[in-house]
Amino acid sequence: MVSTSKTQYSSRSVSAKSDFIPPLENGDRLDRDEFFRRWEATPEIRSAELIEGVVFVNAAAIRFKMHGEPLELISTWLGNYRRFTPECRVSTPTTLKLDDENVFEPDAILLLRPEFGGTCQVDEDDYAQGAPELVVEVAASSSSRDMHSKKGIYERLGVKEYLVWRVLERELSWFRRDASTNKFVSLDPSSDGVFKSSTLPGLWLHAEGLFADDYVRVLETLELGTASAEHKEFRQRLVDRSNR
Amino acid sequence: MSAPSIASRENPLRDIIPPLENGDRLDRDEFLRRWEATPRIKHAELIYGIVYMNAAVRFRSHGQPHTLMTTWLGSYAMNAPGLLIADNCTVELDDQSLPQPDLVMIIDHASMGQTRINEDDYLEGPPELVVEIAASSASRDLHQKLKLYEEFGVKEYLVWNVPEMEIKWFVNLENGFAELAPSDHFVYKSQTFPGLWLDAQALVGRDEKSVFATLQEGLQTAEFESFVNSIAQQT
C-alpha cells in the first residue's frame, strides 16, 4: 500500500490530541501499554482482552446458566484443590499479561508459586504475568475465541494445561502440553469419565458431574485425587525442589 | 487437531442459539443466525470470520460527524441520479466477511456498478465508496477493515479519524490502496465520483458552510456533468 505523509492540517490539533485519551473500542490495534492506558480512561468497560494486538471488549452483562453458575462450580473445584495443595494459587477471573500483544482475562487460572517452579508470577502492579500451569475458560460454544485464537496463543506462550468448558454444548476440552512436540494434545478421560491433570497430579474432574451441576460428585472425585499417592508424591517433589 | 470432548446425552441447553459474542469464529450463515436471534444488537460485523460488535455510539466523536458526512454525500448523490447511499448497512463481501460501514455509495446500474442488492435485501459486493468515522488511529477501520476493503476492491475509502482530526482517503489502484493527495487548499477530489470534493480542513474544523461551498464547486464542473450523463445513457 502506497502511503503519503500526514497532511498538515492535522498538526493543528497536536496540543488537543495529547490531552485526549481515545476510548477503548473493539478491534482497535494496540500494544499492551496503550491498551491499559485507554482502558483505565474508559472505566465503564469492565472486561476487555488484547489478542495478538487486537482489542476485544466483553459484554458487561453476564449470563447466569451460561457463565456465572458454571464458573462458580469451577472455582469451588479449584479452590478445593488448593486447600490440599498450598503450593499453588488460584484466581478467578483475572487479568493475565502474556506478552506485549496479549493481555487476556481467563475465567480462572491456577499457578504454582515461583519457589515451587511456577512460571507465572504476580507483578508489581498486582497482575498475573507469564504462563500459568492451568487456564480454565467457560465458553458458550465451540465458536468462541476461547477455542480459536486464544487456544493457539496459550499453546504458543507456554501454558501447561488448558481446560475449556463449552456450556451450551455440554462438552469439555482439556489440553495438555506434549513433552516431545511442545504442542497441546488432548487429555483423555479415564474409562469412568474422569479427567486427570498430568501437570497437577490429583486435580481430577468428573465431567458428567460438572455438566449436571452435581457438586457432590465433582468434589468427591477431586477428594479421591487429592488423597491419591500421586498427589502426595507431587507435593513431596515440590517441597524437595524448594529446599534445594 | 480435533477437539476432545465428553458430550452428554441429555442437554437442557441444547436448543438455545448461542448469543453473538465479540471474537467468535463464525461463517456468514451462523453469524446471521445468531444475530437474528439477538435483535437488541444493532451493530455487528464479521471481518475475516471474526465477530466485532460496537458499544453505544458517542455524540461528538461519532453521531454528529457521521451526520455531517451523510449530508455531504447526500447532497452529491441528490444531483446524480443512479447513485445510491446507505447508512449502516450490512455488506456481504464473502462467506467470512460482512462489514457494516457507516456509509456506502454505490452506482445502481448493472453495467457500471460492482454491487447488487440480493433477495434478503443485503448489499453484495464491494461498494464504489465506503466512509467510516473512526475514534482513533488504532481503530479497526484503519487496520483490519482497510485491508478488507482493499482486498475486495472497494474503489475509494474515506476515513475520518475524529479525535485526531485526520482525514484519509484511499483509492484502489493496481497495487492496492494509495492515499489520495489533497490539493494545496486541503481539498480532496474523488477519482471515481467526479465532482465529489471535500474540504478536509473545513470538515475537521466543523466549518459546515465551507464544506458545502466546496462541494458546490465540484458539482459545477464539466467532469461532474459528463459523469451524470454517462450514467443516464446507461439507463
pLDDT tens-place string over residues B210-229: 999 999 999 999 999 999 99
More confident residue, B99 or A65: B99
Q: Quick check: A178 contacting B, CB < 8 Å?
A: no
Minimum distance, in Å, between the CA of residue A8 and any CA atom of chain B: 9
Beta carbons of A149 and A176 less than 8 angstroms apart: no
Q: Cα distance from A55 to chain B (closest Cα, Å)? A: 9
Q: State the pLDDT confidence band at B33, using cuts at 50, 70 and 90.
A: very high
Whether the full predicted model's pTM is greater than 0.90, yes or no, is no
Cell 490530541 -> residue: A17
Q: Residue A61: is it exposed, middle or buried by C-beta count within 10 angstroms (0-12/13-18/19+)?
A: exposed
Task: Please tell me if residue A54 touches chain B, with a CB cutoff of 8 Å.
Answer: yes
pLDDT-derived band at A18 (thresholds 50, 70, 90) equals low
pLDDT tens profile A82-140 = 999 999 999 999 999 999 999 999 999 999 999 999 999 999 989 999 999 999 999 98
Residue B25: HSE in the Cβ half-sphere, 13 Å Cα cutoff? 12
Q: What pLDDT score does B10 carry?
A: 66
- At B9, is the pLDDT very low, low, confident or very high (cuts 50, 70, 90)? low
Distance from CA of B118 to the nearest CA of A (A): 27
Distance from CA of A242 to the nearest CA of B (A): 35
Residue A12 has pLDDT above 70, yes or no: no
Cell output for A25: 473500542
Burial zone of B193 (CB within 10 Å; 0-12 exposed, 13-18 middle, 19+ buried): buried
**Residue A15's pLDDT is what?**
36
**Is the CB of residue B89 less than 8 Å from the CB of residue B118?**
no
Query: Rounded distance, CA B108 to CA B115, Å?
Result: 8
Q: Do B201 and A23 touch (CB under 8 A)?
A: no
Q: Out of B8, B54, B165, whose CB is closest to A208? A: B8
A147 or A1, greater pLDDT: A147
Q: Do B19 and A58 touch (CB under 8 A)?
A: no
Per-residue model confidence (pLDDT) at position A13 = 37
Task: Count chain A–chain B contacts defined by CB atoms under 8 A.
Answer: 161
A221 Ramachandran zone, left/alpha/beta (phi>0; psi -120 to 50): alpha
pLDDT given for residue A6 in this prediction:
42
Residue B235: band (very low, low, confident or very high) from pLDDT cuts 50, 70, 90: low
Query: What DSSP line would sit under B7-62, residue for residue?
Result: --S--TTTTPPPPP-TT-B--HHHHHHHHHT-TT---EEEETTEEEE--PPPIIII
Q: Are strands A128-130 and A96-99 parallel, antiparallel or unpaired?
A: parallel
Q: What does residue A220 show for φ and ψ, rounded to 5 degrees? A: -65, -40
Q: Per-residue pLDDT averaged across A183-197, rounded?
A: 95
**Contact call for residues B76 and B164 (beta carbons, < 8 A):** no
Q: Helix or strand or coil: residue B217?
A: helix
Mutation site for B-interface testing, chosen from A31, A168, A190 by largest number of B Cβ within 10 Å: A168
Distance, CA of B142 to CA of A31 (rounded, Å): 15
* Amino acid in position A184: F
- A28 alpha carbon, distance to own chain's centre: 22
Chain B positions touching A174 (Cβ under 8 A) are: 4
Indicate yes or no: CB of B165 within 8 angstroms of CB of A6.
Answer: no
Q: Which residue of B has its CA nearest to A6?
A: B166
Q: Which residues of B touch A142 (CB under 8 A)?
A: 3
Q: How confident is the model at residue A39 (pLDDT cuts 50, 70, 90)?
A: very high
Mean per-residue pLDDT of chain A: 90
Strand residues in A52-142 grouped as ranges (E)? 54-57, 88-91, 96-99, 102-104, 108-112, 120-122, 128-130, 134-139
ipTM above 0.85, yes or no: no
* Beta carbons of A164 and A139 less than 8 angstroms apart: yes
Listed in sequence order, the residues at least 6 apart from A213 whose beta carbon sits closer than 8 Å to its beta carbon are: A69, A73
CB B126 within 8 A of CB B52: no
pLDDT, chain B, mean: 90
Beta carbons within 10 angstroms of residue B90's beta carbon: 21
Q: For residues B47 and B20, is the Cβ–Cβ distance under 8 A?
A: no
Instruction: Check residue B7 and give its pLDDT.
Output: 52
Q: Which has more confidence, A185 or A46?
A: A185
Nearest chain B residue to A8 by CA distance is: B186
Substitution target from A2, A4, A7, A178 for chain B, most B beta carbons within 10 A? A7
**Total residue count of chain B as it appears in this document:** 235
Tell me what percent of the residues of chain B surpass a pLDDT of 70: 94
> Closest Cα of chain A to B231: distance in Å?
30
Please answer yes or no on whether B139 and A187 come within 8 Å at the CB atom. Answer: no
Mean pLDDT (whole number) for A234-243: 93
Residues B46-58, mean pLDDT to the nearest whole number: 88
Q: Evaluate if residue B60 carries a pLDDT over 90.
A: no
Residue B41, pLDDT score: 86
Please check the confidence at residue A14 and state whether its pLDDT lies above 70: no
* Residue whose C-alpha cell is 451450551: A168
Among the ranges given (A27-31, A59-63, B5-9, B76-80), the one the predictor scored with the smallest mean pLDDT = B5-9
Instruction: Give the model's confidence band at B56: pLDDT under 50 very low, under 70 low, under 90 confident, else very high.
Output: confident
